[in-house]
Amino acid sequence: MDTHRDTHVAAVLSLVGAVIGTEEFPASAAGYRELLKWARGMGTVRRAGVEGTGSFGAALSRYLLAQGVEVLDVNRPDRTDRRQRGKSDPLDAQNAARAVLSGRARARAKSGDGPVQIARMYKLTKGSAVKARTQAINQLKAVLVAADPNLREELAGLGNPELFRTCARFADDSKNDEDGEEAVLRATRIILCLLAHRIQQFTEQIQDLERRRARLAERHAPQLLTVVGIGPDTAVTLLVTVGDNPERLHSEVSFAVLCGVRQIAGPCSGRDRAPVGADWWRAGRHHGAGRAPASAASPMRRASAACPAAPPR
């Protein structure tokens, strides 16, 4: 399937790669039902390749998994292949189906229907709130740089928490926008007050999300929190990496591949092995993991055990 915001394009191939049919469906609950009914009308549907299982295709993937269809995540087609064969939604859908048929697409999609999906949303929301708060803090301090010297002296020496509280108490005492010597000073105090209130709001949101995330980790992954050096943030990062259906990862090697790490050649046998310990954490830096804990020889096993196994389909 080639997925988009409003529509999805599906293609059905035979076992020998012949195109049986291609159709477009709306990206809605009714559209998902119509898509699967249409596909099953041409034969038994066991596997489906979906582009964007973490974005536009997330809801479709959850529906197909609930209906007993194995969903594989398909990457965007190679640019060389696009230049040779052209670019269109039906062709992208056919390429996704061929990726599954040929075995190139082997990564099973995350189910996204359990506590890990909740943790992922908490993590994304907190990250955007932290970024917005940092931007507001930088703006407030930039305003102070060009502010009236008397105002700068009034706020000099204050730490960030006290500075924000003081600026938040600045009252808007201007009744109109008339010109005058004090107009710029009044406007500066108003802007500092607004930015300080914005910073406080983001801080409250971040603290609330941290509490929710900690409760979720304690409830669903207590064994991860017993490891020295792993807190709620790192536990959530590991859970999000593994997903709600950890059975899709067959070994620690598959977890290493998911994190974008190559296997390490053993010193004696020359055989490849999966990285352990700190290597996992260096591998998961793009997932937001922190420093390696002292006893994290197998975080994949702990994270997999933390996720409830998917019910038999």
User: Among 280, 235, 234, which Cα is nearest to 261's?
Assistant: 280
Supply φ then ψ for residue 204, to 5 degrees: -65, -40
Quickly tell me which residue has 């109109």 as its tokens: 176
Location of each CATH 3.30.420 domain in the chain: 2-102
C-alpha 284/C-alpha 303 separation (Å) is 13
- β-bridge mates for residue 273, sequence order: 264
CATH architecture of residue range(s) 2-102 = 2-Layer Sandwich (3.30)
For residues 93 and 176, what is the distance between their CA atoms, to the nearest angstrom? 60
Specify the DSSP class assigned to residue 25: E
CA 141 to chain centre: 31
What Rg do the C-alpha atoms of the chain give, in angstroms? 26
Q: What does each C-alpha distance from 173 to 127, 143, 166, 186, 228 come to in angstroms?
A: 35, 19, 16, 8, 53
Cβ-contact 34, 25 below 8 angstroms: yes
Q: Which residue has the tokens 């708060």?
A: 133
Contact in structure between 151 and 163 (CB atoms under 8 Å): no
pLDDT digit of tens for each residue in the chain (313 aa)?
888 989 999 999 888 888 888 999 999 999 999 999 999 988 888 888 888 888 888 889 889 988 888 888 887 765 666 666 667 888 888 888 888 888 887 777 777 777 888 888 999 999 999 999 999 999 999 999 888 888 888 888 889 999 999 999 887 655 555 566 678 888 888 899 999 999 999 999 999 999 998 998 888 888 888 888 888 888 888 888 777 777 777 777 777 777 777 666 555 555 555 454 444 444 454 444 444 443 444 555 555 555 555 444 4
Residue 175, CA distances (Å) to 166, 178, 184 in order: 22, 9, 14
264 sits in which H/E element:
strand 264-265
Give the integer Cα–Cα distance in Å for 96 and 23.
14
Q: From edge to edge, which strands make up the β-sheet containing 7-13?
A: 2-3, 7-13, 19-26
